Structure 1
Amino acid sequence: MKKVLLFGALFAFLGLAAYAQEVEKVTDEDLAKYANVEVTFDNYVTSKTEELKSMILENEIFQGGGRYNEIKAAWGDDAKMTEAKVTEEEKAAYIEVKDFQESLQGVLKEYKTGLIMDEEILGAGTYNKVLAATKEDPSVKEKLDTMIAEMKAKQEAEKEDTVESTDGK
């Protein structure tokens, strides 16, 4: 009787283990949601990077970026700042850019966390499940990377189509 119970317990355990693996199985929908978050976040990073570049290049004080580089090289060294003849106006403009740069890490982290935590977009459970699966199974990581690349390529193609249609081609 003891052997029968042990045998039954073993099957029950194997059944639970198979069920647990099935529950944690990553679906194509899970991967697509995760890929969408990655692409959306990448687009956000790109927009913030462009915003930073615009702050520098479009600010007359920085003369197309050249003066910004001079100020950056001298920043923090009073002798170099004096030698470069950095004005108060230039200091204020540089500090504005520097503050924006320093705030970016927090802004980006908050944005990505928001995407992950939003159950309609991805959800923390799905995020963790996909992340674990990509670490455990290289084929899942490869499939995810392919999905991300395809989404980015599709976006690029749509951008090109939009540019062509606005150019009158």
Structure 2
Amino acid sequence: MKKIFLLALLMFGVFSVQTFAQEEGEDEVTEEEMMKYASMEVKVQSYIQEKQSTMETMIKENETLGGGARYNELKGAWGDEEKLAEIEATEEEKEAFAEIQAYIDSIGDEVKEYMTGLIMDAEVLGAATYNKVRRAMSADPSVKEQIDNLISELKEKEGEDDGDVTD
């Protein structure tokens, strides 16, 4: 599960190196631009969390595997037929494990596609704003700190909204 999060962060780093558009004029990043960027980050992080929850559910509720312990056992032996025989892995278990692995492997591409969609959507963020904010974050640590604070505030607010009970 940590691998997925790390993969997403790694992909984000690789993704951020790519440039989508060049903005004319290198003026300062506005509060609105920082807020848009922070909002996009929170959406991506929520999307990753949603994918991780789905993966956890797939593992825990898989009747063939019987839960996380057997999944981890198969994971440790995966790719080594001797070890799989040693733990008496059935064909059904191998198929169930492979299905879960295929889902996990697809998460990185799905996250990248989702993030690209948010970045390219001018109403959400826009490529020029994305690049402008990324450059400002690289050039000025205080901009990164401001955005990190905005992300924390948005996540905190999102958590409060999720906890609300309506009648």
> What is the TM-score with the length of structure 1 in the denominator?
0.81
Q: What is the alpha-carbon distance in structure 2 between the residues aligned to residue 98 and residue 26 of structure 1?
A: 41
Count of residue pairs the alignment pairs up: 144
List runs of 5+ in structure 1 lacking aligned partners: 1-18
2:35 maps to which of 32, 46, 63: 32
**Structure 1 residues 128-167: aligned runs within 5 Å:** 128-162=131-165, 165=166
Q: Tell me which structure has the larger Cα radius of gyration.
A: 1
Calculate percent identity across the aligned residue pairs. Answer: 47
On the 8 A contact 1:52/1:97 being kept in 2, the answer is: yes
Per the alignment, residue 95 of structure 1 pairs with 98
Q: Deviations over 1:10-29 (max 9, x none)?
A: xxxxxxxxx944xx221111
On the 8 A contact 1:134/1:140 being kept in 2, the answer is: yes
Q: Deviations over 1:132-152 (max 9, x none)?
A: 111111221111111111000
1:92 shift after superposition: 0.7
Identify the structure with bigger relative contact order (alpha carbons < 8 Å, sequence gap 6+): 2
Q: What is the alpha-carbon distance in structure 2 between the residues aligned to residue 68 and residue 115 of structure 1?
A: 34
Which stretches of structure 1, 4 residues or longer, exceed 3 Å deviation after superposition? Answer: none
Structure with the larger helix share? 1
Q: What is the alpha-carbon distance in structure 1 between the residues aligned to residue 88 and residue 110 of structure 2?
A: 33
> What is the TM-score with the length of structure 2 in the denominator?
0.82
Per the alignment, residue 53 of structure 1 pairs with 56
Q: CA RMSD in A?
A: 1.5
